[in-house]
Amino acid sequence: MTAWSLQQLLASLHDDIQQRLETVRKTFGHPGTKGDASEKVWLQLLQTYLPQRYQAASAHVVDSNGTFSQQIDVVVFDRQYSPFIFHYEDQTIIPAESVYAVFEAKQAINAAQVAYAQNKVASVRQLHRTSLPIPFASGTYPAKPLIPILGGLLTFESDWSPPFGLPLETALGEGDGGGRLDLGCVAAHGHFFLNQSGDAYEFITGGKPATAFLFRLISQLQFSGTVPMIDVQAYARWLGA
């Protein structure tokens, strides 16, 4: 009887993701089709392995002022405490208060794609988020501080050689804090994340990058806590608009 192997299970998870991304890149000729397929691979990874309190979808994010983000390839959001998620004509709209993390999914990482992802992330972080006091049996807890929204970039390979060198570090350091990328994965080469001090990136090459990225994301989500209590009435005012 063959013994179970945790090492093999974790390795196989990465190998499956990398193989699917590589097949997409080599097989599909149309850029839009290729992009949609890559996005689906990453979405399925997160939809399958994130704890059920989180969901992942391609979506727009909206705030109570009626401002919308750009279209985001992968939004990780709360479903346990979110009172409404809109679905209309295959489009998903998520209230800003429900968002934990946003990612762009691309074929390859380069300076242009890093800047593009930073712009997308900033379009979510700049949205207004409400937070109400939380009632309990003897009174109310103060309104929770807003949790930081994680941002990142997910790709199959890199246009740089070596993939994790000064050009990537420079690209990640450009732009303001609103578009900062906190973590990302280049499935064929490694993953990266902003260290806890927030002043430098760490680049991890080799290993099983897709699995390592998944574990890193789950770990950072654990420390994010729970999304704030949304002010539903702030959205309800648009019923009379």
- The pair of three-digit structure tokens given for residue 81, joined into one six-digit string: 């405490």
In three-state secondary structure terms, 14 is helix
- pLDDT tens, position by position, 204-228: 998 889 999 999 999 999 988 888 8
Per the residue annotation, which of 39, 63, 73, 78 is the catalytic one?
A: 73
Task: Specify whether the CB–CB gap between 82 and 227 falls below 8 A.
Answer: yes
pLDDT at 241 over 70: no
The answer to whether the predicted template modeling score (pTM) of the entire model surpasses 0.85 is yes
- Return the HEC string of 119-174: HHHHHHHCCCCCCCCEEECCEEECCCCCCCCEEEEEEEEECCCCCCCHHHHHHHHC
Tell me, yes or no, if 73 is annotated catalytic.
yes
Tell me which of 78, 106, 157, 208 is the catalytic residue: 106
Q: Which of 39, 104, 157, 182 is catalytic?
A: 104
H or E segment to which residue 59 belongs: strand 54-62
Each residue of 98-150: pLDDT tens digit? 999 999 999 999 999 999 999 999 999 999 999 988 877 777 888 888 999 99
Task: Give yes or no: 39 in active site.
Answer: no
User: Residue 4 pLDDT more than 70?
Assistant: no
C-alpha to C-alpha distances, 182 to 29, 113, 118, 136, 203, nearest whole angstrom: 31, 15, 10, 34, 12
Q: Is 104 a catalytic residue?
A: yes
Tokens of 159: 């246009």
Domain range summary for the chain, segments of one domain joined by + = 10-229
Percent of the chain with pLDDT over 90: 55
